[in-house]
Every structure is written in structure tokens, then in C-alpha cells.
Chains A and B, each alone.
Chain A
């Protein structure tokens, strides 16, 4: 196995593109190293992106936030402006594993690992986040919900590297939230995860909303019907019921070691209601 520490994203992309064997990006390593330990992955090349300046920081601009791909979840939690604007995204990142994992793992890595149960991804999808992708030849921007194509697979071509995740500028009276179900209080993979982001219009009426689910289908899902269910409402009981129904209807889960179809389908609805209430409150809804 070779180990490289390029100083630009393009250099990283070229290294990976040129590698004939299996090449992997190393950010926090909290997924890659586990796969290496258990023998699931045997890289020929590991490209450590933590030395690339363009990936190392969180930047706030007129168009929103740019989170470098090498920024750890812990650093996101320490960034007050980001936390204020996107509390749901930050709490989703801060739910991944222990403090030890938090200090290493990244949301870009969480995305590229392409687990159906990735905690950060539903929150990012709900937030309308985009991935800045750099290839050996060109750059492109892609919506987060279009990155994961199945368990462990992405739409990124060989040599394409996510350089940053961007979050749009937050309109006033907006709020987001992420909740997940795990059997213990910590250290588990989500059995169900729900991200909700919404913006209010006048009189606390929801003007727009995005709802995304994790761990209930082969990929995290953007559930537009769930968003629609609460738009135009003040999150009254009927709207919440519709929201839960839409979420449960969108579920296409499996029975596995972490949960059952029945349980996931039901709890997706419950958590969607709870997350929506938190997001609504954060947006100033009354």
C-alpha cells in the first residue's frame, strides 16, 4: 500500500485516477480504516487529503457555508456561525460515533462512504447541500442526494474527489433538525434517521420544507411528499399525521441486525414529526 499527501485537490484527483489498483481517499479514516482492519478493503493507494488547504476550513460567505472535506465533525460543532445557521446539520454530524470518532470523521467522508444509514446525509439533503467535486479534468457541483447511488456506491467517477460540502444561505425564519433512532444512547448506527429543514412565511406558516430519511432504503431519501405535507401549515396535528404517513410510505427498508421493516417504517414517521417540531421551533414558529 502506498500513502500520499497531496497539497491540492487536483493533485489528489490525478493520483487516484492514475492508480491502476484500488485507490481510496483518507479523510478521517473512521470508515476506511475499519474496512481495512476487517479485510473488506485492501487499498493499493491511500490519498490523505488532510494536507490540502482548500479542504481544511469552514468558510462563511454571501452564498452560504463551505465545509472543507477534511473538516472534522468536532470542528463543525465548534463553529458557532455554522451551528447557529444549520443546527440540524451540525447535530447530525455530531451524532456520528464517540468523541474519538468526532475528532476524525468528516461529513464529506460520511457522504462518500455511501452507507444508507449515514447520519449526516439526511440532514445535508434536507438542507439542500451540494458537493463540490474535483476531477483530474474538471470541477462540478452536485446535489448531495445525487451522490449516493446504492449501499457503498456513488455517482463519483474514478479520480473525482469531493473538495467541500456547501450549504445555501439561510433565509430568515428558517430551522432544521436531525433525529435518529438507535437502541443505545450512543455509538450505534442509525436504525432510522430523519432530517427536516424548513422556512416559515408569515404567521408561522411553513413556506418551504425538505424532509430526508436515512436507513429506510438502499440510499438516503429525499421525500418530497413529506415536505409537501407540511408546507402551508402551522404544523398542526393533521399536518404532522400527513408528514408521518408520507415518511412511512416512502420507507423501503429491510429486516436486518439493526431493525425490522415494521419498526423502521413506524419510527420514521414518529421521528419525522419530532424533527419537524424542533425545526419549526428553531425557525421561530409559534
Chain B
């Protein structure tokens, strides 16, 4: 029973309620400590010098003047981060991304760093570093980078995923093909075939908290890092490898995290801070500016996608294909592959083929961004789905329902689905009052679907019971948006005690076994599962203590509603022992009572969402305004519904921003033109309506409570939902994201011409 992951349809007492979050008070009073809020005695201020060039050979770096400046305690270049990666390709990429070696690969690539007694001195020192560059040709556009004569971004990269292995390097880092059946035959059998091409521009996660850390390393090889991260154990392992430190001697403490959305799953300047600290033998604080965040931390890919869908007049799709070109920045990634895997995941297709091309360009290393790669693919597919439905004169929702994947469908990326939520979300959309609400003048409505995998991973959890019966739950997955409340609910549920009796802490890497990051919507799924098992482990001990107290066999003891109860007639007189009583007696029954769990939480359920969007467009200026928005998504089981709704709303808002206004704009020199919140236009409060949510609960069969990840899927449908709404009101199919007013205006004019 202890580690049984199977879903059991049980009645919940705590799970599903909406209590206040345990970290709420700290966060409304300003005392919660985020990445930049930690200070150490004798700390220095670190600053990073970054390349102003998109692509340049670094001929020479002269740091001598900077080193001589009074107050400067350390200056480092790539020489201070020697290659210890031992042939590990990904790790070497990380190393080179942290600090340029022989070449600067994008505008914003770090080339040197200083640590000084204060910020003005550090700024002065940066100016004294002389870097001699030789400019190289660059490429920032994904389609340009695939052309035969394009400047080569990484001469060490040969295309993977093709056979035979290529003989010369290429900007195409990987080709990934998915699908089944015979698409050519399928297109032949179609009554109508629609082909469309799309482009999406690069978007950034845009977390409000810039990266920040405080590093302290001594000559004895021991070190500490306080950092804002989605995964402090991963940061520890990566940093230790890059700096040649022993894992156990580097303790990483995660601060509160001011948003991550995937952008804080990778190390960026943390190894630099550690290297500076090691060289100076002083603690070093390193905070990025917003400009640095945009120029040198992972945005998501810009893309170029071709879609082809064939359909019978009766509405059944006969074949579907897509070619998806995603840029990875200057280092190989898996982003096109993810696009190719997710593109048609919502549909039940006999013949489907997707090919992803991961392409290198002179832009920052792409990082995961909330359901990475899925929104762009969904934009292309879901826009085309509407076009196809229109071609055969079918309602787009009915068309989707007719072709939706269900239990037993062979997914477009391979495996066969278990119970899934796409059908139910579509049925809910069909019934939703939003779909029947009257539209005002100049308004249009669109809907679209989205998919994301979710996953589990390594998780380690402790549960300690205090002498007063209160419970300390110690977890190693970062709380990005209320997970401590959800995990406390789960512990309370399992133990049968009030939510208020549980205190959940996120602990440092020295206090718990390895935990994977909070990514892939795994935080509550995996730590939730691990919390259940840790609680059950503690319950076993509690039952043993009760048995010892009563001097009966533990086989006769069960845990029921927060109490140990003796089974059977012969024990009728034994009054159940509550957790409080057992805890109080624990000093004399064997000492502290604790539960522990160390698991690989596999079996995360896939997640689907359908969104509805109403948009208003100014007929003369093409100014847009989202006037109503509804998210319908399968959560498996909503542990704390407030924070599930919050995930739905937040993802939708990010998708809306991406759809309408957010984009990286590079000039002809490969320099980023808008590295700030002024011109990288994330939605402000007055841009958005209230975002309605409908939580569906189709239990995940592989989690005791039926939990699926909920964090990511909500960003997948908005791009297409807005594109479809714009098509409804303006009569044009937008094929370029963001669908900014100048682009809409242009499309309308071209349509009229």
C-alpha cells in the first residue's frame, strides 16, 4: 500500500479546500526573501561584461587595468572557468554560455566579470576591461540560418537525427520526426487539403524578478550559493561540475522565486558568481539587470512552421503533417522536437507526420518557457484547423470534437492515450455560456485547444512530527505559486489532521536527497505523491508506537481519521490514540516520529485545455482588446483550486501577451532593440479582462489522488484562440505572431487588395 501510485477514488476532507497559503504573510509584508534579498558579511558586488556583438571572435581580453583599480577583488574570464566537462556536450554548452570562450555568440554573451567592494567600483572596473573583437558574420532568423551559405554558429555541431551522419557541420542541430500511418495516401484520400505557413517571434518568460544570487566559496573547496531558481539541486550539480567542486561541499539554498516559467531551470551567471567568489575568497552578490535578463537568459524559440491538413467532406481528417523550424539560440536544444511531438497531440489521426528542425542562430540560448514549444505549434495547427473547418463548412468546435483524441487513441508522438481530457474540455466549451454570449460591434470570437505532457521525476521528502502533534513537511521542490499550501493540504489529508497543523518548508540541498526542478508542471504532482508516501511511512511508525503503547501487535492497529485504532473485539476497550497523543508520548516509545519518501514520480498524466476568446478590433487602427476570455482545463484533481485557477489565468495572460505584442526585435547588426519592459510589451492590468476558468477533474490513474500537472498547458491555446477570434472579426488569417496592430493592419489591406 505504502508506495501504491494507483488512483483510488476517495473522499477528501482537506484536498479541494482553499485555505490561506503559509507564505502569504511574509509576501504581503515584504519580508519574504527573494534572490536579491540575501546579504553576507564582507560581500562584494559582481558585474558581468557582455558582448555587444552578435558574433565575434575574441582575440584578446586585457583585464590588467581593471585588476589594478582600487577596490577590485577579482576579475575573471573563461580562463578562470576551465573546461572540466569531460566530453559532456550539454555541460560544455552550459559552460560556454555562462562565459564566452573563443567567440562571442550573441549580443549579451558574457565575456568577463568583476567583483569589487561596491557597485560603482565594479562598474568602473568593467569599463577598464579591453576586449579585442574580430566581427564575424551573424544570423538571427531561423529560416535564414537554414540556408546553405548561412554563417555557421557552432562549427562543432553536426546534424543529429539523420542517417548517415553528416560530414560537415550545420546550423541544423537536430532533425526529429514523429508520426504514423501514410500521410501521402491520406492526403490523396482527402476531399480538401489546406496548406498554410506561419511565423512566431521570440518571447521571453518575463518573470518580474531578475536572476540574482549570492555565492561564497573558500579555498577549502566548501561553498554556499543562495539563489533564485526552479531547481536548487540541479543548480548545485551543474555548478559543482563546472567549477570542479564536490557536490556535497556546495550547499545551495533556494530563495523565494519571483517567477520562473522555465527561465530559472538553467544556470546562467551562478557559476560566474562562484568563480568570482573563489578567486576573491569573499562572498559575491550578483544581480542581473532587466537588460541582462532579456539579452542573455533563455527566451523561447522564434519559429517558422508549415502545416498541411487533409479532410473528408464529412469532417474526418485523413492526414496531417507539419514541418517545424525552431531556433535554439546559439546552443543545440530540443525545442523543435517538442514542437513536433506536441503539434497534433489533441487529435485522433490515422496518418500524421511532423518533422522538427532545431536550428542554431546568434541569439541567447533558448530555455524552456511554460509548455515549451507547444504554443507555437498549436498556433499553426489550431489556426489551420479553423481554416479547414471553414473550407468544409463545419463549426470549428464540432470539427474538433469529431477529430479529438480519446482513450485508446494512438498519439501523434507515439504512445496510446489512457483516459484524457481533450474531449471533455471541448464538450465543456460547446456548452459554455461564453460561446452563446452576444458579440458587440467590431468583436469576434475564437477558440483553440492545447496539450502538454507534464512529468514527474526524482523527489525526496521528509515529514517530521513534533511533540505537540504538529507536522513539519520538508520538501526539495521549489514553490513557484502556492505549492506549499497544496502540499500541506495533502499531508493533512493523508494524516487526517487539520491543514493548520502542517508547516511546509522548502529546504536546502544539504538537508534532503536530490529533487528535480519545479518544471514540467511536476511540483505538486511529484512532491504531492512523495508527501503521500512520506505520510504513509510516518503512519506506519505511528501505528507501531500505538501498538507498543497498548502492548498489542501492530497488525491489529489501523490509522483512521487522524487516530490509531485497535481493530477487533478483543481491543474494544482501547481508546483510539490521536496523532497528538502519540506525538506527546513519543520520547518514551522510541523517540522522534518521522516519515520519509524517496521516489521517482513517474506516470504524470498528459493535460489538455480549450480556450475561448473574444476580441475587439478598431476598424481604423487595428488596435486590439481582449474583452472576454475563458479557460477550460483538466486538472486531474485540483488540490487547492485557487492556485489551480491562478495557473490557468496566468498562463492565459502570458499567451495573450505573446499573441498580441511580445516579441524580440533584432536590428541588422544582430543587436536586441527592446531589452526592457518598455518595448518588450507584456500585458498590463488594463489590457486584460477577468479570465474565467472551469476546472475539469479527469483523474490521472497513476497518482493516488488523480493529480495531473496544471502549470503549463494554459499557455498553449491563447495564440491560436486569438488568431481565430481575429479571423472572425477582421476576416483575415493572421500567420505571424505577435499579431500586433501594424501586422493586422497590413494583413487587412493585403486581403482587400
Given a CB threshold of 8 Å, the question of whether A touches B is answered with yes
What is the total number of residues of chain B having a CB less than 8 Å from a CB of chain A? 25
CA A162 to CA B683, docked complex, whole Å: 36
Output the nearest chain A residue to B681 by Cβ-Cβ distance. Answer: A184
CA A184 to CA B741, docked complex, whole Å: 10
Q: Do the beta carbons of B621 and A260 come within 8 Å of each other?
A: no
CA A188 to CA B740, docked complex, whole Å: 14
* Residues 679 to 721 of chain B near chain A (Cβ within 8 Å): 679, 681, 683-684, 686-687
Q: Do the beta carbons of B623 and A263 come within 8 Å of each other?
A: no
A237 at the interface (CB under 8 A from B): no
Chain B residues with CB under 8 Å of A181's CB are 621, 623, 741
Give the total number of A-B pairs whose CB atoms are below 8 A apart: 55
**Chain B binding surface SS class:** loop
A203 at the interface (CB under 8 A from B): no
Q: Do the beta carbons of B681 and A183 come within 8 Å of each other?
A: yes
Output the nearest chain B residue to A270 by Cβ-Cβ distance. Answer: B620
**Cross-chain contact of B673 among A186, A257, A259, A270 (Cβ < 8 A):** A257
CA A38 to CA B621, docked complex, whole Å: 33
**Cross-chain contact of A270 among B291, B621, B684, B742 (Cβ < 8 A):** B621
- With A183-B660, A185-B625, A257-B665 given, is the CB distance from A266 to B678 under 8 Å? no
Chain A residues with CB under 8 Å of B661's CB are 183-184
- With A267-B621, A270-B620 given, is the CB distance from A187 to B741 under 8 Å? no
**Cross-chain contact of B684 among A184, A262, A267, A271 (Cβ < 8 A):** A184
Q: Do the beta carbons of A258 and B741 come within 8 Å of each other?
A: no
CA A181 to CA B622, docked complex, whole Å: 10
Q: Do the beta carbons of A258 and B679 come within 8 Å of each other?
A: yes
CA A263 to CA B686, docked complex, whole Å: 24
In the complex, what's the smallest C-beta–C-beta distance from B611 to chain A, in angstroms? Answer: 21
A189 at the interface (CB under 8 A from B): yes
CA A258 to CA B741, docked complex, whole Å: 10
How big is chain A's contact interface, by range? 20 to 34
Chain A residues with CB under 8 Å of B289's CB are 37
CA A269 to CA B621, docked complex, whole Å: 10
B130 at the interface (CB under 8 A from A): no
B78 at the interface (CB under 8 A from A): no
In the complex, what's the smallest C-beta–C-beta distance from B665 to chain A, in angstroms? Answer: 5
* Residues 249 to 265 of chain A near chain B (Cβ within 8 Å): 256-260, 262-263
**Cross-chain contact of B679 among A185, A257, A262, A263 (Cβ < 8 A):** A257
In the complex, what's the smallest C-beta–C-beta distance from B565 to chain A, in angstroms? Answer: 60
Q: Do the beta carbons of B687 and A184 come within 8 Å of each other?
A: yes
Output the nearest chain A residue to B675 by Cβ-Cβ distance. Answer: A38
Output the nearest chain A residue to B674 by Cβ-Cβ distance. Answer: A257
Q: Do the beta carbons of A185 and B291 come within 8 Å of each other?
A: no
The CB with the most chain A CB atoms within 10 A, among B291, B683, B741, B742, is that of B742
Chain B residues with CB under 8 Å of A184's CB are 661, 681, 683-684, 686-687
Output the nearest chain A residue to B623 by Cβ-Cβ distance. Answer: A181
**B613-640 CB contact bits vs A (8 Å, 1 = yes)?**
0000000110101000000000000000
Chain B residues with CB under 8 Å of A266's CB are 745
Chain B residues with CB under 8 Å of A189's CB are 678-679
CA A184 to CA B686, docked complex, whole Å: 8
Of all A-B residue pairs in the complex, the 5 with the closest CB atoms, nearest first, are: A263-B742, A185-B686, A270-B620, A257-B665, A257-B673
25 contacts between A and B (CB under 8 A): A181-B621, A181-B623, A183-B623, A183-B741, A184-B661, A184-B681, A184-B683, A184-B686, A185-B684, A186-B684, A186-B686, A186-B687, A187-B677, A187-B678, A188-B678, A256-B673, A258-B679, A260-B742, A260-B746, A262-B742, A262-B745, A263-B742, A267-B620, A267-B621, A271-B621
